Amino acid sequence: MTKNLFLLSLCMIAATAGHAQTTAPEPIAPLPEPRQVAWQQLETYAFVHFGPNTFNDREWGYGDANLNTFAPTRLDCEQWARTAKAAGLKGIILTAKHHDGFCLWPSKYTDYSVRNTPYKDGKGDIVGELATACKKYGLKLGLYLSPWDRHQAFYGTDLYREYFYAQLTELLTQYGPLFEVWFDGANGGDGWYGGAKETRKIDNRTYYDFPQAWKLVDKLQPEAIIFSDEGPGCRWVGNENGYAFATNWSFLRSKDVYPGYSKHWELQQGHADGDKWVPAECDVSIRPGWFYHASEDSKVKTVDHLVDLYYRSVGHNGTLLLNLPVNREGLVHQIDSTHLVKFYKQITAELKTNLIKQAKVTATNTRSSAFAPGKMTDDDFNTYWATKDGTSTGDILIKFGKLQKVNRLKLQEYIPLGQRVRKFEVEYLNGKQWLPIQMNEETTTIGYRRLLRFKTIQTKAIRIRITDARGPLCINEIGAYYAPNAKEVYVEKAEDVNGLAYTEADRTDNTVTFDLGKTQNIRSFFYIPNPEMKGLGLVSNYEISVGNSLDNMKVVASGEFSNIRNNPVMQSVYFTPVNARYVMLRATRMVTDGDKLNDLKIAIR
């Protein structure tokens, strides 16, 4: 009797164990919401910056632009949509209101809007026109509403907060479904402010009462993702260059991060110990600036550069938000659209033929037939290979059957159950010996998608060894590709400006003077931040003086290097041509209070 009970117990344990392995692994928090998963599957979408800045050659408008200057002659939102569609982009986010406070829709709460411009005699609604165009071309619509407003006299008061939420309600209720609502982290500083022309500072953490904004978006646009430094839907990636770090967790420590968070490098890789799912969105402009400037027509990012950004954004567990600055006619420039479409064709060509479809795929520690290795090659997002409970490692073996050229790999985790992989290795069979594939970046996290580039190898087999994870593995897709003419790694060249020869004549903490050697006719000044300084010593506001002697200098230009903290590219300053021997740059304000003017590169013309 005892023996029979013992055997019965063993059978029950075996049956229970067998049953457990046919069910999915337990989720590992933090976990994404369904709308976050759907958002990440979009992968690439467009940003559009357009407004008075376009017509006044500015990046950050001061809030005092004459509205008669806003006069596009051929504005065509359908052209924007056709361009995005042809480039494989899945949606468009429009700057409905930038920091200058100008509204691209006829808001009933302000006169500083498209309603009081020459465009369509004040009867235009560019937000509405884009919403219609996106619907026609099957694109999703997102909207950017700047919390900061350099125009409004009451910015910084409680009344402005009411104004902000009233405008947000207009955008959330008048233009159909939105896939993303964008809140910038730039808040408070110099502005026109109804003529006060002063600096106003606010507390980023409390002034706007962002939790109220999140509740409003959730109520009126329940499928929309909310962007800010802290999310909660997706986070800024910590740079405006369009890439995430190779190690990129979709988590943040929710109690630490807030709008205007200063530790940008953390946002580029997330927090491995984060408690909230906030994946990275990689924003970048196809030009140096976010708004259109004719002087940048020759500086549109090359196809190779854009391809590289795709691998380092989407391929680093993020999404790519690519800005298209609409020109003064109201169109995406032909140079931009040409590069964009070629970029899409190049990516499509490189990842077109998945060599694994003709290979034999096996794996170790497989959970059960319901989670077999073949689930990684069936093109079904919701099926995946999984390992047994208690395991956090596993090998995936890909046998091609014949020598095969390979230089691209794709790995994807089934993120609805959490991001798990901490470290992996990739090897290839060289004769009878397994050798590591030499990567140009670390092989750590995977997340929604990891794309790996390497020098072409020829092999009959590849082995992916996942050596550390937060729990049982859940891999829903793998791919191997050969891109015959692809660039291995793209390196952007630094700005090259041919200027006048000079020597440094004098330097104090926040002032540097240059001696041209003789009196010359000059009309422009170019300030090029040193990337090796990692954001230190950046000039926010400047004053440029010239003269024929150091004791007789005259100010010829002053202003702000807008957004230089997040986008440290070459800054151009033009002024009335003048004859002078000495040129002086004075930093009237640094990006970081108390910082000192440090190493820099300049050119004078």
Adjacent-strand bridge partners of 14: none
Lowest mean pLDDT segment, chosen from 81-85, 380-384, 446-450, 541-545: 541-545
Q: Which residue has the higher pLDDT, 578 or 231?
A: 231
Predicted pLDDT of residue 492: 45
Judge whether 482 and 456 are in contact, CB under 8 Å.
Answer: yes
pLDDT tens digits, one per residue of 274-309: 999 999 999 999 999 999 999 999 999 999 999 999
Count CA atoms closer than 13 A to 394's CA, side-chain side. 26
Count CA atoms closer than 13 A to 352's CA, side-chain side. 9
pLDDT surpasses 70 at 487: no
Domains of the chain, start order: 44-350 (3.20.20.80), 355-481 (2.60.120.260), 503-604 (2.60.120.260)
Count CA atoms closer than 13 A to 70's CA, side-chain side. 25
Question: Hey, how many other C-beta atoms are within 10 angstroms of the C-beta on 435?
Answer: 12
Predicted pLDDT of residue 4: 43
Predicted pLDDT of residue 498: 63
Tell me how far apart the alpha carbons of residues 179 and 166 are, in angstroms, rounded to a whole number. 20
Tell me how far apart the alpha carbons of residues 427 and 433 are, in angstroms, rounded to a whole number. 10
Lowest mean pLDDT segment, chosen from 23-27, 68-72, 517-521: 517-521
- Burial tier of 57 (Cβ tally within 10 Å: 0-12, 13-18, 19+): middle
Tell me how far apart the alpha carbons of residues 16 and 112 are, in angstroms, rounded to a whole number. 68
CA distances to 74, 336, 528 from 331, rounded to whole Å, are 7, 10, 29
- DSSP assignments along 113-168, one per residue: BGGGSSGGGGT--HHHHHHHHHHHTT-EEEEEE-S--SS-TTTTSHHHHHHHHHHH
- Burial tier of 56 (Cβ tally within 10 Å: 0-12, 13-18, 19+): middle
Lowest mean pLDDT segment, chosen from 50-59, 194-203, 589-598: 589-598
Select from 548, 551, 373 the least CA-distant residue to 478. Answer: 373
Tell me how far apart the alpha carbons of residues 56 and 7 are, in angstroms, rounded to a whole number. 85
| Dihedral, 79, 85, 88, 89 alpha carbons, nearest 10 | 70
> Which tokens go with 467?
């050596």
| Dihedral, 24, 270, 96, 216 alpha carbons, nearest 10 | 60
pLDDT tens digits, one per residue of 143-187: 999 999 999 999 999 999 999 999 999 999 999 999 999 999 888
- Angle ∠(535,540,69) on CA atoms, nearest 5: 125
pLDDT tens digits, one per residue of 229-259: 889 999 999 989 999 999 999 999 999 998 7
- Angle ∠(43,468,418) on CA atoms, nearest 5: 40
What average pLDDT does the segment 465-473 reach?
A: 98
- Ordered alpha helix ranges (H), 484-569: none
| Dihedral, 88, 92, 98, 101 alpha carbons, nearest 10 | 150
Predicted pLDDT of residue 493: 45
| DSSP for residue 72 | -
Predicted pLDDT of residue 200: 95
Predicted pLDDT of residue 88: 98
pLDDT tens digits, one per residue of 365-407: 999 999 999 999 999 999 999 999 999 999 999 999 999 999 9
